[in-house]
A and B are shown apart, each in its own frame.
Chain A
Amino acid sequence: MKPAPFVRHVPRSLDEALKILAEVAGDDGRILAGGQSLVPIMAFRLAKPAHLVDINEVEGLDKIADDGQTLTIGARVRHAAFHKPVTANPLGALLAYVARHIAHYPIRMRGTFCGSLAHADPSSEWCLTAATLDAVMIAKSVKGIREIKAASFFDGIMSTHLKEDELLAEVRLPLLPADAKFGFYEFSRRAGDFAMSASLVTYRLDGGKMTDARVGLGGAEASPRRIAEAEAQLNGKAPGDAAFRAAGEAASAAIEPLEDHQTDAAYRRDLVKVVVRRALEHSLK
């Protein structure tokens, strides 16, 4: 179980990285960031990239910036960077809570936020986060910069709308309103396993009623996304069991469930109902 041979490129600047990527993209070149998803699939030889553009030596990609509106996360910011809140905005606490659910401690030391998004595993906690919060992906190539909204970024299981010569250079997450509530819940069989369903929710309260509700769902369909049907069950209602249950039911009915050996469609719908409701319940804790 050894990876197939490849040529490694070690750019020192972003421009150099993009230039090399442009050169090798057509020849099955890929970005190597944390490697915590890519290297295992290379070990199984499910991927045999001929070139790896290793961005671990590129200056400046490990920055997290909070400009009062947006949190910008660089291409090489590792999961562990979020172990403690990176901003006083509620988003910091949200990211810290979600980060603890990503794989295991040593994986979080190496794996990157942007790498998770580019890898696009349906179960990825960061993909769910990006979808729920309507992140904006900044894709860079020698041809220029593209901004891609989360809703149009994911393209099914382990696939995105990034072009082969594009590097996901940064991700922008809108800061949450200061009074925002959030909740997260995921279900897996063992600690650190891929989520069999996960939900991230945020909302505000206006006169005791929920508003601006976001219900994100991951691990249940080919790509994570917001579930409008569930959000509709929340906006204008008081937070509580009735609304939370209705949102769970709505999400469960709305999905096109992924199926695998440990989760058939009916079971996936069961789980979705539960994770959405429990994420909402978590928002009250």
Chain B
Amino acid sequence: MSEKAAITLTINGKDYAIAVEPRRTLADAIREDCGQTGTHIGCEHGVCGACTVIVDDAPVRSCLMFAVQAAGKKIRTVEGLASGDTLHPMQQAFMDNHGLQCGFCTPGFLMLAVGVLEREPDISDEDLIDVLSSNLCRCTGYQNIIKSVRAAAAEMRK
């Protein structure tokens, strides 16, 4: 154990005052200290991308950041994608195109794709495949994830 730090995490516009050890990863803090369990943990070593969230407009692995490093930053997770009852185009596209099966990797893929498309709305199809190769999915074979993200990209450009 080491001394806990009192910090405030701002997740989807809401402040969470929490006390965490410096070693607490952002992924664990989001899930356990802030109760936002939509962000999933698949490997804890930065390969699978299930824990991808957007921190200050950058899609990042939340298992490779410490929670204390995210204090004062704007964190966005899957729970914040929809506005009220209206799904984000990316969420809608995943549903329309069967871009998910078990749904465990889905939050990470959604945040990865939204994070990158917000930065690079005109990203090429080839680069998009490269981006999507950042995360692992074991159910879909990626076919419908790619289809979903392309559909959402077109919708987001409108």
Q: Once the chains bind, are B2 and A6 in contact (CB under 8 Å)?
A: yes
B45 to A, closest residue via Cβ: A40
Q: Once the chains bind, are B46 and A107 in contact (CB under 8 Å)?
A: yes
A104 within 8 A of B: yes
B contact residues around A104 at 8 Å (CB): 49, 131, 133-134
Q: Once the chains bind, are B22 and A7 in contact (CB under 8 Å)?
A: yes
A contact residues around B21 at 8 Å (CB): 5
Count residues of chain B with CB under 8 A from any CB of chain A.
Answer: 31
Q: Once the chains bind, are A8 and B44 in contact (CB under 8 Å)?
A: no
* Given known A6-B2, A44-B45, A106-B112, contact A39–B22 (CB-CB < 8 A): no
Q: Once the chains bind, are B133 and A191 in contact (CB under 8 Å)?
A: yes
User: In the bound complex, what is the Cα–Cα distance between A105 and B21 (angstroms)?
Assistant: 28
B61 within 8 A of A: yes
- Nearest chain A CB to B25 CB, angstrom units: 8
B11 within 8 A of A: no
A85 within 8 A of B: no
User: In the bound complex, what is the Cα–Cα distance between A42 and B112 (angstroms)?
Assistant: 24
Q: Once the chains bind, are A39 and B64 in contact (CB under 8 Å)?
A: yes
- Nearest chain A CB to B2 CB, angstrom units: 4
Q: Once the chains bind, are B65 and A192 in contact (CB under 8 Å)?
A: no
Q: Once the chains bind, are A106 and B59 in contact (CB under 8 Å)?
A: yes
B contact residues around A192 at 8 Å (CB): 133-134
A92 within 8 A of B: no
- CB-defined interface of B82-119 with A at 8 Å, one 1/0 digit per residue? 00000000000000000000000000000010011000
A2 within 8 A of B: yes
List B35-63 residues whose CB lies under 8 Å from chain A: 44-46, 49, 52, 58-61, 63
User: In the bound complex, what is the Cα–Cα distance between A7 and B21 (angstroms)?
Assistant: 9
User: In the bound complex, what is the Cα–Cα distance between A73 and B15 (angstroms)?
Assistant: 35
- CB-defined interface of B53-80 with A at 8 Å, one 1/0 digit per residue? 0000011110111101100000000000
B14 within 8 A of A: no
- Nearest chain A CB to B120 CB, angstrom units: 9
* Given known A39-B64, A56-B69, A107-B61, contact A2–B23 (CB-CB < 8 A): yes
User: In the bound complex, what is the Cα–Cα distance between A40 and B46 (angstroms)?
Assistant: 7
- Of B5, B25, B49, B66, the residue contacting A106 (CB under 8 A) is B49
A110 within 8 A of B: yes
* Given known A6-B2, A8-B66, A43-B45, contact A106–B60 (CB-CB < 8 A): yes
User: In the bound complex, what is the Cα–Cα distance between A107 and B46 (angstroms)?
Assistant: 8
A-B pairs with beta carbons under 8 Å apart, 29 shown: A2-B25, A2-B44, A3-B25, A5-B1, A5-B22, A6-B2, A7-B3, A35-B69, A36-B61, A36-B64, A39-B64, A39-B65, A40-B46, A43-B25, A56-B69, A104-B49, A104-B131, A104-B133, A105-B130, A106-B52, A106-B58, A106-B60, A107-B61, A107-B134, A109-B59, A109-B60, A110-B65, A191-B133, A192-B134
A binding-site residues for B, Cβ under 8 Å: 1-8, 35-36, 39-40, 42-44, 52, 54, 56, 80, 100, 104-107, 109-110, 190-192
Additional A-B contact list (9), CB under 8 Å, known A44-B45, A106-B49? A2-B44, A5-B2, A8-B66, A56-B69, A104-B131, A105-B59, A106-B52, A109-B58, A191-B133
